[in-house]
Chain A
Amino acid sequence: MGKINGSQAIIKCLQEEGVNTIFGFPGGAVIDLYDELLDSGIKNVLVRHEQGAVHAADGYARVTGEVGVALLTSGPGATNGVTGIATAYLDSIPIVVLTGQVPTALIGNDAFQEVDIVGITRPCTKHNYLVKEAKDLVPTLREAFHVARTGRPGPVLVDLPKDVVATMIKFPEKTPIRMQTYQPTYEPHMGQVEKACKAILKAKRPVLYVGGGVILSNSNEELTQLAKRLNIPVTMTLMGLGGFPGTDPLSMGMLGMHGSYTANMAVSKSDVLIAVGARFDDRVTGRVDAFAPNAKIIHIDIDPTSISKNVKVDIPIVADCKHALTAMNSWLDQAKDLNEDEIKTKHEPWLANINEWTEKHPMGYTNEGETIKPQFVIETLSKLTAGDAIITTEVGQHQMWTAQFYKFNRPRRWVTSGGLGTMGYGMPAAIGAKMAFPNETVIDVAGDGSIQMCIQELATAKQYGCPIKIAILNNNYLGMVRQWQELFYDKRYSGTIMEVTPDFVKLAEAYGAVGLRATKTSEVEGVIKKALATDNTVIMDFTIAREEGVFPMVPAGKATTEMLLV
């Protein structure tokens, strides 16, 4: 085969990896690559801000499980992408971000639009590369995709100097990737699996605590099997929602700061806690020494650094969740003298106990006539989409209400920035998700504050005929911060009142989208139905009870049993 230029080689690499859509924004340093893209057959989604490109690639990755790709120019293009990269990093989302860089001869000279993006993103990427020589281009890209999608997934950045990309090279044949220094452990240690299973069988009050790792490893079925065969109640982290059916009687919903009373009580009273692909984040544990104080803790995670980082683990299993759960299920299949019905019966008092908690403090809210309650909007959305839309969110109260009241029964339908908590994430992520699944209903549940952070992507949605729906729970506040000020700062609302907010209906119209508004409870259903029936991008602006709070709430640093209830 003859030689091709670096840009053509990059395109070939993308095709090799099965990439058919990328999200990006051009500039001088990537103009050659954009030129090649035009006839490549790869769809380039032109965003309006690079943060949007990375979030869209991230949303695409979350719903498909494939690697999302963003392409940014050097300097400000690259730095604009950093929030997106950090967002993906904290939630372990596989994306590859390609950035243009000034020619190698100019690197280090403060050249026009030069920034050391590899240096900047070192702490917020799983790994990153500066390709200094054309011969390394293809192997580096292949390695980047491999690193992004394997092990604990994460964002990988590849910085591409303009001269490297212009060089003529021979396209090397694909060989299996072998990295001496990077070999994630997929298979569990069978001794540990056995120990874990025995501990579970002995438990009287077991709880499954499920995190995003279950979604990332596609192990929801194995998890569900384990929970059901032994009747083990399940709670999920914000990232784990959808990992176990939310409407199943064994589901206790979310745990942690805004988790259900039941979930937090159950964890604190459990005698065996089985953490699956979760990382004992402070928003989940509250005061660490009071978290599951009486439980033997089993922890399955592919990343050894997650184990015993915040909470001391008794039975660690370093493995891919899918492999570990499969191994546990087959251990149970083969266990002699195991009567699963007996175990199920043994758990009945525990489940009864759990039901009592739920009866005492169900996840609820009170309707107040025509004042729209945000929880009601989410319940109605859930009802009208049969709980099966792809839901993205921004960050704030609206995000927590969605997590609490939308019942996800399947994985990869819930797309939210958990670890970094990035306002502005939801709309670009919705565009990414809709690009991946044009026939699915995709809804961004937004706050009036967050939506303004990447509002310009409405134009992107319009340009690509991407009829996402945006439901703004409009309280005219930076509500989540306001709630903290209400509870812990004597209602001193410093910096949380947005005195000027655009008219979102007119704003939608200005972008060629449709704007709908509901100010009364009785209008909610009609607005949602109309939005769902409209083949256009729609903003629904719900004027909600202004000072509604998110409850239960575990104040930061308190034990999870010290919940504030409504």
Chain B
Amino acid sequence: MKHTLSVLLQNKPGVLSRVTGLFSGRGFNIESLSVAETLDESVSSLTLVTRGDDAIVEQITKQLHKLIDVIKVTDISEGEFVEREMVLIRVKAESNTRAEVLRVIDIFRGKVVDVSPKSYIVEVTGSTTKIKAIIDILKPIGIKEIVRTGTVAMARASKS
């Protein structure tokens, strides 16, 4: 089962390495990880996507919490949440494929952020499924390079 964890950490040197070291040392897997400062610059927020059965995810959550620099761990995939990822794709765009590429980007509500004679850099934001879908569609046209941010996620506010 895929789980998306949101982790608040002290923004100090070495903290990220404590987190990643915990995962490698204990054989937990990291599917994606993204980290940046929060409004309070002494705190970082980290979104981590991992896979495992309930017992493993329970261990991961507890072990993360045990790290002294970790402030809060939430398995946001337990409730309603929004997840987004951004990808930059350098895609072949020559005279015979440009129109096709633009059409696809339009469907995915992506943007062309750089143009060169033979390629575009395309920016697309969305859920992991959407990112995967556009990559699959552009692949036959010719993807030269991709860079993904990893998932960031936020729990939805309760509706009641």
Contact = CB atoms under 8 A, between A and B. Distances in A.
A181 B69 CA distance: 6
B14 A122 contact: yes
Interface stretch (A300-308, A413-421, A535-543): A300-308
Interface in A453-504: none
B68 A147 contact: yes
Most-contacted residue by chain B among A126, A130, A181 (CB, 10 A): A181
Interface residues of A, number: 18
Contacts of B58: 308
B86 interface: no
Interface in B1-54: 10, 13-14, 17-18, 21-22, 25
Given A122-B18, A123-B21, A123-B25, A304 B65 contact: yes
B62 A304 contact: yes
A182 B71 CA distance: 8
A305 B62 contact: yes
B65 to A, nearest CB: 7
Interface in A144-168: 147
Closest 6 CB pairs of A and B: A305-B62, A127-B68, A304-B62, A123-B25, A181-B71, A182-B68
Contacts of A118: 14
Contacts of B68: 126-127, 147, 179, 181-182
Contacts of A147: 68
A119 interface: yes
Given A122-B21, A303-B66, A180 B71 contact: yes
Interface in A72-131: 118-119, 122-123, 126-127, 130
Nearest to B8: A181
Given A181-B68, A304-B62, A305-B62, 18 more contacts: A118-B14, A119-B14, A119-B17, A122-B17, A122-B21, A123-B21, A123-B25, A127-B68, A130-B13, A130-B14, A181-B10, A181-B71, A304-B66, A305-B59, A305-B63, A305-B66, A309-B59, A312-B55
Nearest to B71: A181
Interface of B: 10, 13-14, 17-18, 21-22, 25, 55, 58-59, 62-63, 65-66, 68-71
A312 B53 CA distance: 14
A34 to B, nearest CB: 28
Contacts, number: 35
Contacts of B69: 181
Contacts of B62: 304-305
A180 B43 CA distance: 12
Nearest to A129: B14
Contacts of B25: 123
A529 to B, nearest CB: 49
Interface string A353-379: 000000000000000000000000000
Contacts of B63: 305
18 contacts: A119-B14, A122-B14, A122-B21, A123-B25, A126-B68, A130-B13, A180-B71, A181-B10, A181-B68, A181-B69, A181-B71, A182-B68, A304-B65, A305-B62, A308-B55, A308-B58, A309-B59, A312-B55
Most-contacted residue by chain B among A118, A180, A305 (CB, 10 A): A305
Nearest to B60: A305
Contacts of B66: 303-305
Interface string A298-339: 000001110011001000000000000000000000000000
A127 B13 CA distance: 13
B14 to A, nearest CB: 7
Contacts of A122: 14, 17-18, 21
Interface in A167-182: 179-182
Contacts of A182: 68
Contacts of A303: 66
A147 B62 CA distance: 18
A150 to B, nearest CB: 11
B10 to A, nearest CB: 6
Most-contacted residue by chain A among B25, B58, B68, B71 (CB, 10 A): B68
A179 B71 CA distance: 10
A123 B63 CA distance: 12
Contacts of B21: 122-123
